[in-house]
Amino acid sequence: MGMVNRLWTIGSLICAGVVFAGNAPAGYASPPMGLPAPYRAPYIPASDGERLQEVPSVADPKVVEMRSLRAKLDAAPQGLDAAIRLANSYIDYSRQIGDAHYAGYAEAVIAPWTALTAPPATALLTQATILQYRHQFDAARDLLQATLRLDARNAQAWLTLATLDMVQGRYEAARKDCAQVTNTSGLELGSACLGNLLSYTGQARQSLALLRQSEVSGGRASIAYQAWIEGLIAETAERLGDWPLAEAHYRSALQLLPRDNFLLVAYADFLLDRGRPGEVLPLLADHSQSDTAFLRVALAQAALHSPEASRYAWMMAARFEALRQRGSDYFGREEARFALQLQHDPQTSLALAQHNWEFQRAPWDARVLLEAALAAHQPRAAAAAVAFVEQTRLEDPIVQSLARQVPMPSSNAARENR
């Protein structure tokens, strides 16, 4: 659950931070016994030659592409088009590998244009995409609206706004956004946008039908677009409780984009929910630079009762602390899961989940809030999530099961008993 957070760029498709490598570097001691989490002391390398993090290979085609685009911009630094292409390449790569540093590189590239008194629409849209990725939703929305005032037929801006509205549970607004995607980009992309939306509003079977049409017609589209549709079908099948169908489409998506962080994390969550943590470790073995992927590895280690579980939990705590020190707080959902499942601290998890709910209202956010409230023996603290599930008619067997455990207000109970 969570593909809606993925944002694609029209063309290649339509559409965090790293502290430690996946394995502790040489000399990286495990936490002393009894040390409270999160561990707050900084790690100091034992030598200048110590490996802290793996960086992408210069032979990686995406890295080659970024270097080529960088050279073109350096040769003509006043070229806005070249800057936008390079920035979008950085953003796509940041999403693919789950490393927010590249989003920062993109921001630096377009900074000369966003600093203008009257920034061009393309620069505003690129900056909005970066802010949406960082979960700075209000600022992203402002820039998207500014983009559309300058260019009302910008299909990418409408699609980005639709994605943002879905993440925040603004489904009526998202429906209008998808209509604009159809008007500005055509029926195929508009149908995919609407199909994505319907899976959140009690119409998952209709969603599946639309997405399967997009799957068939998307055979001529880019690999990235096809993987997006496959991932959305997998997520929708999960909403319907059709686990075999969901798994088949997750696997299809990963055959198309085997290193895509969003797909890997979504499939890892699927495996964890199915009680298959042993399959998560090889799936994510080469993706420890991503904090979201590393969390799933830590969860899998804990589920397997591995002797390494405490070390992975400690390292994950250090990553969250590093994010806080950098002023990043856009992993609220993940941190709430970490506090509940790895630190066994339901009160902290509930506080994090409640704060996260103020900004994000996707199904996973409802689930995390419900799980934390129930574990903290404060079920009514998740009343907002229950009301949201009822109002949107969300179809999700796990979320619905959790919501049924929250006592209903007396007025609702009375209506139920009539």
Structure tokens at 246: 């969901």
HEC per residue, 79-125: CHHHHHHHHHHHHHHHHHHCCCHHHHHHHHHHHHHHCCCCCCHHHHH
Within 13 Å and on the Cβ side, how many CA atoms surround 363? 27
- Interatomic CA distance for residues 304 and 212, integer angstroms: 36
171 near 202, Cβ under 8 Å? no
Structural contact between residues 7 and 199, judged by C-beta atoms closer than 8 angstroms: no
Dist CA 268 CA 300 (whole Å) = 9
**CB of 147 within 8 A of CB of 121?**
yes
Are 270 and 262 in contact by the 8 Å Cβ rule? The answer is: no
Q: What is the pLDDT of residue 17?
A: 30
DSSP 317-351: HHHHHHHHHTT----HHHHHHHHHHTS--HHHHHH
Are 197 and 179 within 8 A, CB to CB?
Answer: no
pLDDT of 52 reads: 56
Q: What is the pTM of this model?
A: 0.84
Asked if 189 contacts 14 with a C-beta cutoff of 8 angstroms, the reply is yes
How many angstroms separate the CA atoms of 324 and 111, rounded? Answer: 24
| pLDDT computed for residue 411 by the predictor | 47
Q: Which of 248, 234, 239 is closest to 205 using CA atoms?
A: 239
How much is the pLDDT for 54?
Answer: 57
Average pLDDT by stretches of 10, the chain with 418 residues: 51 36 37 44 63 58 81 86 91 81 90 95 96 91 97 96 96 97 94 96 96 82 91 97 98 95 96 98 92 96 96 91 76 94 96 95 97 97 96 96 85 45
Pair of tokens at residue 176:
């209008």
Residue 13 in contact with residue 325, Cβ under 8 Å?
no
Under 8 Å between Cβ of 248 and 232: no
- 405 in Cβ contact with 379 (< 8 Å): yes
Which pLDDT score, from 0 to 100, does residue 20 have? Answer: 32
Q: How far is CA 171 from CA 157, 356, 390, in A?
A: 17, 18, 14
Q: Could you give the 3-state DSSP secondary structure of residue 337?
A: helix
Helix (H), strand (E), coil (C) string for 224-292: HHHHHHHHHHHHHHHHCCCHHHHHHHHHHHHHHCCCCHHHHHHHHHHHHHCCCHHHHHHHCCCCCCCHH
Q: Are 339 and 348 in contact (CB under 8 A)?
A: yes
Find out whether 76 and 82 touch, Cβ atoms under 8 Å.
yes
Residue 33 is predicted with a pLDDT of 39
For residue 37, the model assigns a pLDDT of 46
Q: Is 202 exposed, middle or buried (0-12, 13-18, 19+ CB in 10 A)?
A: middle
pLDDT at 418: 43
